Structure 1
Amino acid sequence: MAARKTQAKKASAKKAPAKKTKASAPKKSGPEEVAEYLKQLEHPLKAEIEAVRELILGANRKIAERVKWNAPSFYYQQDLAAFHLRPRDCVHVVFVFPQGTMPADRFGFLEGDYKDRRMARFRSMAEIQEHKAGLVKLVNHWVRAIDQLSAA
């Protein structure tokens, strides 16, 4: 009986052959993920979504993008904003602010009184153009706030 247990232990101690796995495709970069996401997106305000995306990315070279929370989002060291694409009547963007960096709405388009975020809703290309300068200022305010937090 003891001999059988010893043989069983020896047999189980042998390593099983490694399973072969298929080579996985290289992970896409954030901009590649977003481009693919937007290519497949069906939304009545798709052109407006892409215009807001270009404004945010163009506002400051430090801003990067990726797909997070099942939507295109923007970040620089921390999350900045994400599209909320369920509404079909507007381009809804959620801006997230680190503690103590919430700006007063001197930009003219932020909504809500949440502790750590504000919303923006753009219903047309004309509305996006109307708030273009404010959106660029907001993004740069956010980047400066992050830089100040990092330096502290």
Structure 2
Amino acid sequence: MILFNDHNRHLSTFYKMAKKQSDPEKVIEFMTQLRHPLKKEIEAVRDIIKNTDTRISERIKWAAPSYYYKEDLVTFNHRAQDCVHLIFHHPNIEKINSPILEGNFVSRRMTYLRNMDEIMAQKTEIERIMKQLIAYLEEE
């Protein structure tokens, strides 16, 4: 038999009142805690991706910000400290040709952006890739 004392009631009330974080809130918390030499650049790429299409949503996947519309599209990889590394991991990425998409992996391509100048120079290309992935999903 469990007896409730004032402390237990307080904890029970606390847990009931505790709000589960939304996916965007989890990303904001993640970014607040992120220690990375290119954090400003990562934020810039996040903004580019999120502002490409209002249907794109953000969440944490593989311990990093990830973006999806109907299906997963692209996720950051923060292990590299000298670049912003994006992993495009939707099968349709194989259909998209772009100078910033590297590798010949099944259902994956990588993008490496080294600084803010490079990010701004590739903004239109990042947007084009994201729009094309969404267009493919709309066709399915």
> Could you tell me the TM-score, scaled by structure 2's length?
0.87
Paired position in structure 2 for 1:134: 125
Q: Give distance in 2, aligned partners of 1:64 and 1:50.
A: 15
Which of 41, 57, 62 lines up with 1:64 in the alignment? 57
Paired position in structure 1 for 2:43: 50
The 5 A counterparts of 1:66-145 are 66-98=59-91, 100=92, 102-105=94-97, 107-145=98-136
Q: Give distance in 2, aligned partners of 1:44 and 1:140.
A: 29
Unmatched runs of 5 consecutive residues or more in structure 2: none
Q: Give distance in 2, aligned partners of 1:101 and 1:43.
A: 27
Per the alignment, do residues 46 and 102 of structure 1 end up closer, same or farther by CA in structure 2, a change over 3 Å counting?
same
SS of residue matched to 1:43: coil
SS of residue matched to 1:65: strand
Aligned-residue CA RMSD in angstroms? Answer: 1.8
Structure with greater Cα Rg: 1
Matched pairs, number: 132
Deviation at 1:18, TM superposition (A): 9.8
Sequence identity percentage: 39
Unmatched runs of 5 consecutive residues or more in structure 1: 1-15
SS of residue matched to 2:72: strand
Per the alignment, do residues 18 and 142 of structure 1 end up closer, same or farther by CA in structure 2, a change over 3 Å counting?
farther
Q: Give distance in 1, aligned partners of 2:96 and 2:86.
A: 17
> Could you tell me the TM-score, scaled by structure 1's length?
0.80
